[in-house]
Amino acid sequence: MLGFQLAITFHLAGIIFWLGGLGARLILLNSANAGANEGGRSQLYQLQQKIHLMMEAPAFVVALMAGLFLVHATKVTFNQPWFRAKIALVLGLIAVSLIASRQFKAFNASGRVGQAMGLFAGLVVFTLLTLVAVLTKF
């Protein structure tokens, strides 16, 4: 029981810092200025990379490890529709993160600014739907 409670604690803490870091990077992406010079672009790129490497990625690993432990502990399977939905939404969140990283690379290389607010809306909607799936277990 203590193992389960600890796993939930690590799972939720991991999710908070993973998605919090992603949200922070998307706000930075939204403030990227198309007219910025190379030095300014590189500064923004390095800042988002620090958030990605120091906060988002380690927190994702913690959330995933604890989530896999919970899969084992609760014996949840893909036969349960809420779990299928949850994993599809988690893949959506991972896609948002990968697209954000690509857009930062493009901004750093050429100054092209992407669709940060669309990605931010995706982050909010996917997070809400994931919580609905896991808390209602429909």
Q: Which residues bind ligand HEM (CB under 6 A)?
A: 8, 11, 15, 63-64, 67-68, 70-71, 74, 76, 90, 93, 127, 130-131, 134-135
Q: Least CB distance from residue 99 to ligand HEM, whole Å? A: 17
Of 45 and 69, the one with the shorter C-beta distance to ligand HEM is 69
Task: Name the token pair of 95.
Answer: 């896609």
Nearest-approach distance from CB 70 to ligand HEM, in angstroms: 4
3-state secondary structure 26-89: HHHHHCCCCCCCHHHHHHHHHHHHHHHHHHHHHHHHHHHHHHHHHHHHHCCCCCCHHHHHHHHH
**Residue 11 or residue 25: which is nearer to ligand HEM going by CB?**
11
The CB-of-78 to ligand HEM minimum distance in angstroms stands at 11
The rounded distance, in Å, linking the Cα atoms of 23 and 134 is: 21
Q: CA–CA distance from 115 to each of 1, 17, 29, 122, 130 (Å)? A: 44, 23, 8, 11, 23
Question: Rounded to an integer, what distance in angstroms lies between the CA atom of residue 132 and that of residue 138?
Answer: 9
Residue with smaller CB distance to ligand HEM, 42 or 74 = 74
Q: Is 115 helix (H, G, I), strand (E, B) or coil?
A: coil
Instruction: Please say which residue, 10 or 107, places its beta carbon nearer to ligand HEM.
Output: 10
